[in-house]
Each structure stands twice: as structure tokens, then as C-alpha cells.
Amino acid sequence: MRYLSLVALIGLCFFTLPLQALSVYDLSCEHKVNPMGIEAAKPRLSWKLEDRANGIMQTAYAIRVATDMRFNRKSLVWNSGKTNSGQSVLVPYAGAALESGQRYYWQVKIWDNQGQESDWSEAAFWETGLLNTSDWQAEWIEPKQDTLQDGPAYLLRKDFSLNRNIASARAYVSARGLYELFLNGRKVGDEVFTPGWTVYHDRIQYQVFDVTDLVQRGENAVGIHLGDGWFRGALGWMDNWAIYGKAVGAICQIEVTYTNGQQATIVTDGSWKSSQEGPIVLNSIYNGETYDARKEMNGWNEAGFNMKDWDDVTVADHSKEVLIATETVSVRKIEEIQPVKVWKTPKGTLVADLGQNLVGWIKLKVEGPAGTTVTIRHAEVLDKYGEFYTENLRAAKAALTYTLKGDGLEVYEPSFTFMGFRYIAIDGFPGELSPENITAVVIHSDMEPTGTFECSNPLINQLQHNIVWGQKGNFLDVPTDCPQRDERLGWTGDAQAFCRTAAFNMDVSAFFTKWLKDLSADQLDNGGVPFVIPNALRQGGVSAGWGDVATIAPWTMYLVYGDKDLLATQYPSMKAYVDYIREKSGDSYLWTGGSVFGDWLYYKPKMTSHTEPDGYTNPDMIATMFYAYSSRLLSQAAEVLGKDADAKFYAELYQKIKSVFQDNYVTGSGRIASDSQTSYVLALMFDLLSDELRPKAAEHLVNNIRKRNNHLSTGFLGTPYLCHVLSDNGYTDVGYDLLLQEEYPSWLYPVKMGATTIWERWDGQKTDSTFQDKGMNSFNHYAYGAIGDWMYRVVAGIEIGAPGYKQIRIQPHPDERLEFARATFDSSYGEIASGWTLKDGQLQVNVTIPPNTAAIIELPKATITGVQANGQGVRENADLKNVEEMDDKLLLEVGSGQYSFSYSYE
């Protein structure tokens, strides 16, 4: 009884006290959580608001930044004071000048439109990098090495002593090559593939590690394991190697602060020693790794190791100006997968199936006599006879070879290579192989997952799964075309096609911030954008729809993340690219010869008996259409950045190209040259037609699809926009026809064939289980996964209203062939959700809008009187503003909160 009344009392307090619900969470700096190594002079700070009430808007913030976590007066470097502003995303630091190698703690508190004031948030931090080149006391050093393709990895080491108690320690490290850093026998950090892949001639990232717990008073040792990676290894298929330099090397600076405030600095210099006799005798991104455990040098990275037979290092005069703090999120081991099956193929090959086409490597557990060699090969698919199939890897050997040292259980995983595979073939395994001996380690850039999509059709859910795995496999520091064959390059066309979808599934803000700077760095002197970034093919060609990543990706990142600085940083590159085309096309406004790849891999009807023509689209026309589009995006970017003259100039340019395009390629009845799906898709998507011809062209597109029995025929350029153009022009049902199509060519055909990632070609594997041309047949190529964008934005209905989702548009497009569809997206303001259920003619739409944003919700086929909102009529519900019926839709404005609408949907 006493207990009960206590509960009642507490309950009473709860209900009578005002709800102090406003709080702040998810603090980030430059798109990252507690980043180490920030070089921006004014790092930008973001946070999210949490509140249970509806319609919450931030009205003011206060930020304080200090070098001490207690934020005492002495340590404060910025106190913004209460600042009236709704901005909660990318607020620039405006305090005292920042110092090198300093940790800055920060907190924020906010006020909202309901008169609430939050508490100070938990403290977050950022740490600056080495802000001046002169801060680098370390030298580039190089081990004694032969100029070898696929040679050994190197060991570098130094002993040092620290003679006082240690308060803190940092390591600043980079390599011309790939490195692993060790202190006193322990690997530093959980990153792999450091320092990442950039345009090394101009930019090499360094990493910053807090190594306070890894160093000790007394004797210490630092070791660096150094591989070839992208720097010296083969890249591309034309015997292209050592393109950034013939020698690998490293740079490392360890800064120790003692408890008495004194400092000690340990740097790479001529006193280090190196060895090329370590256990990795071959390292190569494409070919794999050969590891001889008998060559392991126990204790090489610990103090007091005997360096007999070790070599002197060379101090090299490479630029330190190129060193930049890490801009992206590092690559890490993200998850582990066990095989679902181990068996022998009809030909007797011992094979394990991981159940998922993935990117990473195998961790092997093995026990056996010294000198036993186990070889692991990798494949994405089995052939029609159930045999291991590696021909589509072309020249990439993709093999791990491990020789046992013979001392109990040995656990091996490689360091400087990765593979794209679902199956492995194992040779020479001593004893019986069981699934426990094998673990697949999945690695990729450590991007936060931000999106989910789900619906009532399991095939589409598998498609979404495949899109996400295509992204995991191909976002390994640069956006690659594929992860398995002798390619794995930053193909620009693929990246522009997929970047919007990618930005739904995961937070790619930092990832593209870095890669776009590499694009600028590798842009040709004439403004052209090479086929791949970094330009590992070392060619100077440009292709329409590939080079346009220079305008499309920054604009997309601006739309999704509201990052104006990114747009400003990329602006010169965007403009140089458009000016390159301007130069090529001159007064004709036609970019003749601008397309090398056309609408890459469009449908060519070899596989079925369809009699219809293929999906060919005139490449010159494609080039002119992209010229128009890029000019338009450039003019929009100029407008956002307040560059009025440019905005006007490129808007006029766009208009001229549009009219020349119409004169040259469009008939009075809205037919477009080539009469292909892609011709209509690009013309409509890029708004290149008159108001009068738009519906006619859309009709031609629909007729084309109907004639093909609801099949698409588009390639890399048309596919991403195909369904968008249909839904924008009133043919959402036709978009669904294509999405739900299970026969080739379609998105679901590979799914029906058992795909677990997106294929490069619509018919990578044919219905009789034979394969497409082995010269170009990747089973993990994300480009066609660009349909994901339509699933989020149109099927479920999460659309951007204003850059960064400060304004949201919710626009579900139900179709009776699905019972439900729902998506979530964790925007810079918090989670947005939109989902619908259609049952017995009754539609229910559920929506979540995060605080500090506003949304317009478009309810299809709804009327003011027909809709119940959170159990009330729309007129009665005070959270719904500006309710309006328009074009068979009901429009409502809402603030943050959760909303549920139901009505009869006939």
C-alpha cells in the first residue's frame, strides 16, 4: 500500500511538472563524431534536437568551446553566448585561432519555440591536426627495397625511451604506400588501408591516433608495417604500376606530453632501421598476399629487439606540404561472416560459400606442420556445373597463400589486399576443413548507416539488400566500379549515377568531401574530368555522363547535407568542367564527340527472342544533354553561392543548349532522336523540352516500355532517372511495372537468379546459367542500384524540400501491388520516416518529422473530409497547417512529430 502511494506520488510529480524534454544529441564536427585531425580554421558544428512535443523549432543556441573538459574560464576559447538562430547544422566555429595538435571540447545548449531551454549537451570534441607543414619534424623515410611489382611488405622500427610519467601521447602517421603502425607490439587504431587513396602527388592523408595508453615510461618501440597498396601496386589492366612512385615510404611523429608539461617527440629519421625479410613476401591489391609465417620476427615491434641484419633507411626529400589530415571516414573491419556451407565441387575443388557476395578478406584458423601451404582463391559465382568460376576476375589473381610455422593454432588475415567474393576455394588445408576455420571479414569505409527501406515484396527487399551490399563493397575509400577484377577504380560515371542512392543508405558526406577534392586535384588542365578519380589510368579522355560527376555529385551532396562549403570548394572544378565543354562545343552548343561510353551497357537483345530494337541512344545527343544539365547545375550552384553574374550566364547557356538540342534532336510530335528510353529519360529529366512537348515525349517513353512488355532498355545513364521521369510525368504505375518486372532485363531478374549484390550487366548470368562475356562481367557493380533512390523518394516518399532536409516533402506513392512500403532516413536533423499500408481499399500513411524542420505532406487521392489524422479530422487537428486539396492530392504542412493518416483509397 505504502509502495503504491509512492508510485502514485512519483506519477503525480511527473504529470504536474512541466515536461523538461528538450535536449541535444549526436554532436558532430565536420560531419564526423569526435574527429581526430581537423585542419579547418573554422570547423563546423552540428547537433540534433530531441523533444517529445510536436512542432519544435530551435530559436537560439549557445556554444562553448574549451581546451579543458570542465569548460572553466581559463580554458574557454569560444563562448558564442545566446545566439538567436535556428541553425543546428554546420555552424562555424568563431572563437580564437585554433592551435596545432590541440583537443577542443565543445557543448551546446538550445532554446526552442515553446519557451524551453535545454541543459548543456554532453561534451564532444575535435582535435586539430598538424596545421603547419613546419609542425612536421619527422622525415619521410624509405626502407631498403627493390623496385619490384608484387614484392614483399617492409618492416620499419625504432626503440625510444621516455623518462617521465606520461600525461598524453599522439601519433601522426602517413605513408607513400599502406601502413600499419605498432607501439610496443600492439597495433595502433582499428583503421585498415591507411592512409587511404588520394591523388598522392598532391594530397596524402595522415592519421592522428591517441596513443596515450600504448606508450610507457621507460623503454618503448615503434614499428611500421609498410605495403604497396594503391601507391606502388598495379592499378588498371594495362600493366600500370608504380604510378605514384617507385619506392614506398612512411612518415611518423609521436608527440608525448609528460605530466610535468614537458614534451618529447619521436620522429621518423635516419636512425630507424628496416627489413624486407618479414612474413609478407608478396603484397598486391589485385593479386592478393603471400604470407610465410616461418618468417615472422617475434618481437620486431617491441623494445629491445635484436636488429642484426636490419638495414639502414633512406631519408627521402618528398614534400610534406602534401600531407593533409584525414578528410573521410577511415576504412575498418565492419563485420564478420561465417560460411553457410563447405563442400567439394563435382571436379573435387574444396569450396566454402559465405552466402553473401562481399568485400574484404578471409581470416583463416589452421593447425598443422611447419611448411604446409594453404591457398585460398576467391570467386563471386559458381558456373552452371557448380564449379568455381574466376574468369571474370580477368588478370587479378585474388589469392591468399599462407605457409604455416607449425606452432599450434595459427590465425592469419592479410593486411594490404582485399577481395570481392562469395565463394572461396581452399587448397592444401591440413586435415578436415570445417566452417569454423574460416571467417570472412567485411571491410569498407566506416560510414554510418542512415537509411532503411522495406516493403511487402520480398524480392524488392532483396534488391534493397543487394544495393546496400553493392555500396559496402565499393565504398572502400573511393567509390569504385567493382571490387574484384583488375579494375577497382573510381569510375566517375558510376559514382554520379549512384551518389544520391548512396546518400540514403549511409552517411557519405565525409566520403564524398574527400573524393571530390581528389577530383579537383586530378582534373585536367583544360577542365576535363578523367574517366576515373584518382586518375590511375593516367589518360586524358573525357566522357559525357562520366565527367559530369563534377557537377552532379557536389550538387547532390549540397541537397542532401546542406553543405554550402562543399559546394563552394567544388565550384571552381564544376565551372572548369562546364567551360571545358563550352570550349569544345563553341557556338554550335552541341557537344559532338563528347561521349566515349554512350549509355553504357544499355540493353542489347541477345538473350531473348524479342524483336524490338535495342536501347541504343545517339552518343552525341547524350553529350549535349549532359552539357545542358551540367550548365544548369552550375548556374544553380552559382545562385546559392551568391555569384550572380555566373548564375545568369550559365542559366542563359543552359537555355541556348536547350533550344539547339530541340532544333537538332526533337520532332514536333515530341519524338527524340534514337527513340530510345534513355533519349526520353534524359530529355525529360534535364528539362530540355517545351511544356507542350513534355507530355508527348513522356507518352513516347511509355509506349516504348509497353512495346517491350514492360521492360527497360536503359544503360548506366538512363537507368537512374527512368522511374523518376515516369512518376514526375504521371506514370508512377509504369515505374512500378518496371520495378516489379522479374524477367530480364529488369532489376529483379538478378534477384530471381540468386544475386546478393547488384550486377554490372542486366544479364551477367543468363537464364541457362551461362555467363556474359568474361572480359566484363562483375557481380558487384553498384550503378544499376541507383533505383534505390526512387524507392526511398517515390515509393516510400521521403523527398527533400529544402537543402539538407531543413524542409521535407513527404510524398508516398502507393500501388496496390504492394501491401506496404516504408523508409527511414537519418537526416542531419534526425530521423525522417514515411510509410504506408494499403489494405481493403484503406490507406494508412505514417510519418515522422524531426525537430527543427517542417514538412509538406502530400496525401494522394485524399480529400479534406475523407482523412483522419492521428484520429481526428484534418480541420480539427491543430498540428496540421495550410490544408489544401490540389490535383487529386491533399497537402498539409506540419512541424516535427509523428503523424498517422488514414482514409479510403479508391
Residues that bind ligand RAM (CB under 6 A): 481-482, 487, 491, 493-494, 597, 600, 781
Residue 145 or 357 having the CB closest to ligand RAM: 357
Task: Name the region of 218 (left: φ>0; alpha: ψ -120 to 50; beta: rest).
Answer: left
CB of 511 to ligand RAM, least distance (A): 18
- DSSP type of residue 121: P
Residue 221 or 537 having the CB closest to ligand RAM: 537
CA–CA separation, 890 and 880 (whole Å): 12
CB of 493 to ligand RAM, least distance (A): 4
Active site residue 413: no
How many Cα neighbours within 13 Å face the side chain of 534?
Answer: 19
Residue 142 or 487 having the CB closest to ligand RAM: 487
CB of 485 to ligand RAM, least distance (A): 8
Residue of 127, 289, 487, 858 with catalytic role? 487
Q: 43 near 93, Cβ under 8 Å?
A: yes
CB of 209 to ligand RAM, least distance (A): 35
Residue 55 or 764 having the CB closest to ligand RAM: 764
The 218-227 sheet, strands edge to edge: 186-187, 178-183, 218-227, 154-162, 273-275, 311-312
Residue 582 or 781 having the CB closest to ligand RAM: 781
CB of 384 to ligand RAM, least distance (A): 24
Burial label, 363 (beta-carbon count in 10 A; 0-12, 13-18, 19+): middle
Distance set, CA 60 to CA 55, 80, 85, 110, 566 (Å)? 16, 11, 5, 6, 25
Distance set, CA 462 to CA 469, 472, 759, 785 (Å)? 10, 15, 13, 12
Distance set, CA 468 to CA 417, 501, 595, 758, 879 (Å)? 22, 9, 29, 9, 36
CB of 474 to ligand RAM, least distance (A): 10
CB of 597 to ligand RAM, least distance (A): 4
Residue 177 or 490 having the CB closest to ligand RAM: 490
Residue 351 or 533 having the CB closest to ligand RAM: 533
How many Cα neighbours within 13 Å face the side chain of 689?
Answer: 25
The 44-50 sheet, strands edge to edge: 23-29, 44-50, 91-92
Strand, helix or coil at 430? coil
Residue 521 or 533 having the CB closest to ligand RAM: 533
Strand, helix or coil at 258? strand
Residue 205 or 501 having the CB closest to ligand RAM: 501
CB of 596 to ligand RAM, least distance (A): 8
Q: What's the angle, vertex CA 184, arms to CA 298 and CA 158, rounded to 5?
A: 85
Q: 360 near 370, Cβ under 8 Å?
A: no
Residue 378 or 781 having the CB closest to ligand RAM: 781
Q: 24 near 124, Cβ under 8 Å?
A: no
Q: What's the angle, vertex CA 499, arms to CA 497 and CA 505, rounded to 5?
A: 125
Q: 681 near 718, Cβ under 8 Å?
A: yes
Residue of 180, 760, 799, 858 with catalytic role? 760
CB of 494 to ligand RAM, least distance (A): 5
Give the three cell numbers for residue 352: 566454402
Distance set, CA 19 to CA 26, 114, 115, 438 (Å)? 21, 11, 12, 53
CB of 361 to ligand RAM, least distance (A): 22
Any residues with CB less than 8 A from the CB of 855 and at least 6 apart, and which?
801, 807, 808, 809, 810, 847, 849, 893, 894, 895
Largest Cα span, the chain: 91
Residue 430 or 541 having the CB closest to ligand RAM: 541
CA–CA separation, 175 and 283 (whole Å): 16
Residue position matching grid coordinates 500500500: 1
How many Cα neighbours within 13 Å face the side chain of 840?
Answer: 0
CA 690 to chain centre: 36
CA–CA separation, 789 and 785 (whole Å): 8
Question: Residue number with the shortest CB distance to ligand RAM?
Answer: 481
Q: 675 near 700, Cβ under 8 Å?
A: yes
Cis peptide before 92 (omega within 30 of 0): no
CA 506 to chain centre: 6
Residue 491 or 836 having the CB closest to ligand RAM: 491
Q: 130 near 136, Cβ under 8 Å?
A: yes
Is residue 872 within a helix (H) or strand (E), and if so which, with residue range?
strand 872-873
Residue 595 or 902 having the CB closest to ligand RAM: 595
CA–CA separation, 121 and 108 (whole Å): 6
Give the three cell numbers for residue 702: 511509355
Instruction: Please name every residue paired with 128 in a beta bridge, in sequence order, or none if there are none.
Output: 38
CB of 359 to ligand RAM, least distance (A): 15
Q: 510 near 37, Cβ under 8 Å?
A: no
Active site residue 760: yes
- What spatial distance separates the first Cα and last Cα of the chain, rounded to whole Å? 55
Nearest partner of 570 among 559, 561, 557, 560, judged by Cα: 557
CB of 472 to ligand RAM, least distance (A): 17
Give the three cell numbers for residue 493: 560515371
Residues serving a catalytic function are 487, 760
